[in-house]
Amino acid sequence: MKRWNGWGDDQTIYPLPDLSKNYLVNLLGEADTPPDASLDEVIKSVPESRLTPFSTISADPEQRLRHACGQSLPDWINLRSGRIPTFPDGVIFPTSDEQIEEAFEIASSHQMILIPYGGGTSVVRHVNPPQCDTPVLTIDLSNPNQMVDFDETSLLATFEAGIKGPHLEKKLNKLGYTLGHFPQSFEFSTLGGWVATRSSGQQSYYYGRIEDLFRGGYFITQQGAIDFPSFPASAAGPDLRHLVLGSEGRFGILSRATVAIKHIPKFEEFYGYIFKEWETGMQAVRDLAQKDIQLSMIRLSDAQETETTLLLTGRRNLIHWAGFGLDKLGYKKKRCLLIIGVTGDRDRTIRSQKAAFQICRKNGGLYTGKFVGRTWKKSRFLVPYLRNSLWESGYALDTLETAVPWSKVQLVKDKTIEAIASVSQNQNERVLVFGHLSHVYPTGASIYITYIFRRSYDPDENIERWHEMKSAASKAIINHGGTISHQHGVGRDHARYLENEKGTIGINLLSKIGQFFDPDNLLNRGVMIEEKSVK
């Protein structure tokens, strides 16, 4: 069963190795581990629903609790301490387009805020009810989740939008195909959520981001439904599908999505390279992207992330001998790990692999074989489970990300890390902060930052620590020319920064589109487009 106050399935555990725990204790200090609130306690704290009872709406406190939060760090702090600020007043589980339309009608005639909820894996507060007097109805879209059309000739498949990653891949794999969209939240996030947040999978370098994969669909709004055809290309005016991509539940509900699929690749492999320092690694990565080498993944970790990744294996001998050997070869403390993946048919991948190796060698990279890459692949969806064990050991982890042109990558990465470290210093605490380039493009890269700090006994203090670090990092990103999000979206947490990149006219345009689709302003109010009156 899905954990109610943490990540993932409650049967899956990714323990924090002793070695890593000792490392954190040395670096960040011994941490408090106050007990978490129990499910029963928190259920008891769910307030009375403000909705008039409806047979189709569940006002069950446990359902309301399970739909009250996403997966952001403040969500975790609130869930674990049992102090959840807002709950939906009810949850509705439609199983058809008609029932989605009915939910719109109920919300409109009773003036309820309606929050579309896919897998609830948002990390920027997309699905949390706002603090306001209007009752909130969450619409759980995970039920319609079947494949409804398969056009093998055109390499297109249509799914109901509530389908989750593993289910979708299983359906396609059986037929010899794949979507290839693998966000780290793959296990629990939904196709509708991916489209609504402009999500990016770990191998989007080969398969494309969700905006490349999304080809059409059925979008239900207060004004009626739009059926977007799956033209391969069109010059017939602006592409309205872009009103759905990144719409974050503000304009309507995507009930079905048609996506471009690929044959299951015949060959896939991941390789590791070590560079003497970040700068040469980054040069290699830029060359790989700009020379159009056809890889499926490029991920360059900085020195701190490289060391932490090795420590997290918990394998004392491996860490000792790898460190010893690399030191001897001149790859010392500043060494950085690059993982590259090749995916596709044999000939193409062999050509790409050879070209990529040549570029890595030219930039001083040391080939480390397939072990690191294979380990990465094996644990790619397990790593988020570490958040649970870190929390239980007294440490909180958060991540943030941006994308910038190559000319700014170094500056934005440095400034963001500096901002987090400096706030932590002002808090008289220490923080472990590191980063990697997670997705690269010929013109730039996304920077993904992870920071870990010890938590205090006081949940308010934890929220405050997080808030100060997150705000400082977000300001550093936007002040130095980064987008507020490469893949996590805007939600409530980033809404205040959106005007910076869309401009006043852009924000007004988005608001007008919202007013057109949702004249009563009921859909996910306050998400993406900030509402000064609604927190």
Closest CA to 240 of 226, 252, 253: 226
Gap between the Cα atoms of 125 and 105, Å rounded: 25
**Could you give phi then psi for residue 456, rounded to 5 degrees?**
-100, 175
For residue 477, give every residue at least 6 positions away whose Cβ sits within 8 Å of its Cβ, in sequence order, or none. 400, 402, 412, 415, 416, 483, 484
Considering only residues 129, 130, 144, 249, which one is a binding residue for ligand FAD as defined by CB under 6 A?
249
Considering only residues 31, 113, 527, 529, which one is a binding residue for ligand FAD as defined by CB under 6 A?
527
Position 121 contacts ligand FAD (CB under 6 A): yes
DSSP character for 263? E
Considering the complex, what minimum distance in angstroms separates the CB of residue 76 from ligand FAD?
A: 10
Residue nearest ligand FAD (C-beta atom): 193
**Could you give phi then psi for residue 136, rounded to 5 degrees?**
-120, 130
- Which two structure tokens, joined as six digits, stand for 437? 């380039």
Considering the complex, what minimum distance in angstroms separates the CB of residue 68 from ligand FAD?
A: 12
Considering the complex, what minimum distance in angstroms separates the CB of residue 460 from ligand FAD?
A: 23
Considering the complex, what minimum distance in angstroms separates the CB of residue 437 from ligand FAD?
A: 14
Q: Which is nearer to ligand FAD, 103 or 253 (CB)?
A: 253
Piece in contact with ligand FAD (CB under 6 A), picked from 80-88, 246-254, 310-318, 413-421: 246-254
Q: Are 126 and 492 in contact (CB under 8 A)?
A: yes
Q: Cα–Cα–Cα angle for 105, 108, 110, nearest 5°? A: 105
Q: Are 309 and 402 in contact (CB under 8 A)?
A: no
Closest CA to 434 of 314, 275, 306: 306
Position 127 contacts ligand FAD (CB under 6 A): yes
Tell me the DSSP string of 65-79: HHTS--SSHHHHHHH
User: Could you give the string, one character per residue 507-526, with x where binding to ligand FAD holds by CB under 6 A and - elsewhere?
Assistant: -----------------x--
Gap between the Cα atoms of 464 and 469, Å rounded: 9
Query: Which residues face 158 on adjacent strands?
Result: 149, 258
Footprint of ligand FAD on 369-428 (CB under 6 A): 384
Position 439 contacts ligand FAD (CB under 6 A): no
Gap between the Cα atoms of 241 and 230, Å rounded: 10
Q: Which is nearer to ligand FAD, 11 or 428 (CB)?
A: 11
Considering only residues 73, 100, 136, 161, which one is a binding residue for ligand FAD as defined by CB under 6 A?
161
Considering the complex, what minimum distance in angstroms separates the CB of residue 188 from ligand FAD?
A: 6
Q: Which is nearer to ligand FAD, 185 or 308 (CB)?
A: 185
Position 204 contacts ligand FAD (CB under 6 A): no
Residue ranges binding ligand FAD (CB under 6 A): 7, 70-71, 115-123, 126-127, 141, 161, 183-185, 189-190, 192-194, 196-197, 199-200, 202, 248-249, 253-254, 384, 487-489, 524, 527
